[in-house]
Amino acid sequence: MANPGWTRTESPFHTGELAIQARMGVQERMDKQGRRVIREYLPPQHRQFFAQLPYVIVGTVDGSGNIWASALVGEPGFLFSNDEHTLRVTAKPLFGDPLANNLADGVDIGFLGIELHTRRRNRLNGVVSLTDADGFEVHVRQSFGNCPQYIQARMFELVEFDLATPKPIHEITALSEPERAMIAGADTFFIATAYQDQSAGLASGVDVSHRGGKPGFVHIDGDDTLTVPDFSGNCHFNTFGNLELNPHAGLLFMDFEQGDLLYLTGTAEVIWEGDQISNYAGAERLFCFHLEKGYRVDGSLPLRWSKPEFSPFLENTGSW
């Protein structure tokens, strides 16, 4: 039996997303597509997908309005769904992850379930409905799948880890050499954004997205600004729609060789036109991220990765 799509009369997109879709001339097409692929529940395929993951990317907002992208890790099955409206998480935040300070009953949360080795990804936005000693539960507001574009395929190995084992934490307000080296070599990062106004209904909340490119695609400007090309995508404009209404954003970079994690929070804006866009082949627009603060945690990610198989979608993209 087919899974019904969006069942509400109101749009599955909020005003920021709709404004950008209109600007790009795709609003009518996205309304039809969104009502077909966005759901207020987890379909069976998504429930099975989350249950087989050993890691998931998470977005939350702290008490000061700062947005953070985080990672949760566990044996497959640490994410499971007893019903289509609930995702259960039996894992605790990694050592030094800002997520530990943000989890509470009633907070908005976003998930990106992603299998790098298969290039599959599904997104879920919801509300934390319960926290307990073993983890937490999320009530689903929206779920939908994404295409495999720009994902570098990597196989993983989960290694034994103890969350209580301290790791070196480096608090930052500017990008020093270790952070710059990590960003300069990155072919992947994750971005969390949010629009939490009640007027948006089920379209409100936190969103987490993947960004991929050739190593060096994130350009470092000075000690606190990053410029990133944005390529052709699904035209939902979830991330940029949030930024249209709320400039706060959180970035997560992974060192796939050393297991270091870099958490950054700040503000971002989109560059829609200008000569700067043509400096990066394949870019349709750019976005600039301005660092406010962050943390680098050494060796905290208990996953080991194979060398990347670069996405064929990168063939027509360039470099700075």
Alpha carbon distance 180, 185 (integer Å) = 9
Residue 180, CA distances (Å) to 85, 156, 267 in order: 41, 25, 18
Cβ contact 153:119 at 8 Å: yes
pLDDT digits (tens, 9 = 90+) for 16-33: 999 999 999 999 999 999
Alpha carbon distance 216, 239 (integer Å) = 21
pLDDT of residue 1: 53
pLDDT of residue 235: 86
Structural tokens at position 213:
């490119």
Alpha carbon distance 244, 230 (integer Å) = 15
pLDDT digits (tens, 9 = 90+) for 220-230: 999 999 999 99
Phi, psi of 255 (to 5 degrees): -90, 105
Alpha carbon distance 161, 142 (integer Å) = 32
- Residue indicated by tokens 């200008």: 274
Phi, psi of 35 (to 5 degrees): -70, -20
DSSP state of 173: S
Write the burial class of residue 98 (CB in 10 Å: 0-12 exposed, 13-18 middle, 19+ buried): buried
List domains and CATH numbers for the chain. Answer: 15-314 (2.30.110.10)
260, HSE (Cβ side, Cα atoms, 13 Å): 17
Alpha carbon distance 108, 319 (integer Å) = 36
Task: Write out the chain's pLDDT in tens, 320 residues.
Answer: 567 899 999 999 999 999 999 999 999 999 999 999 999 999 999 999 999 999 999 999 999 999 999 999 999 999 999 999 999 999 999 999 999 999 999 999 999 999 999 999 999 999 999 999 999 999 999 999 988 999 999 999 999 999 889 999 999 999 999 999 999 999 999 999 999 999 999 999 999 999 999 999 999 999 999 999 999 888 899 999 999 999 999 999 999 999 999 999 999 999 999 999 999 999 999 999 999 999 999 999 999 999 999 999 999 999 98
Write the burial class of residue 44 (CB in 10 Å: 0-12 exposed, 13-18 middle, 19+ buried): exposed
Q: Of 166, 189, 172, whose CA–CA distance to 95 is shortest?
A: 166
pLDDT of residue 234: 85
pTM of the model: 0.97
pLDDT of residue 154: 97
Give the other-Cβ count within 10 Å of 64's Cβ. 8
**Residues in the chain, total:** 320
pLDDT of residue 233: 84
Alpha carbon distance 156, 254 (integer Å) = 13
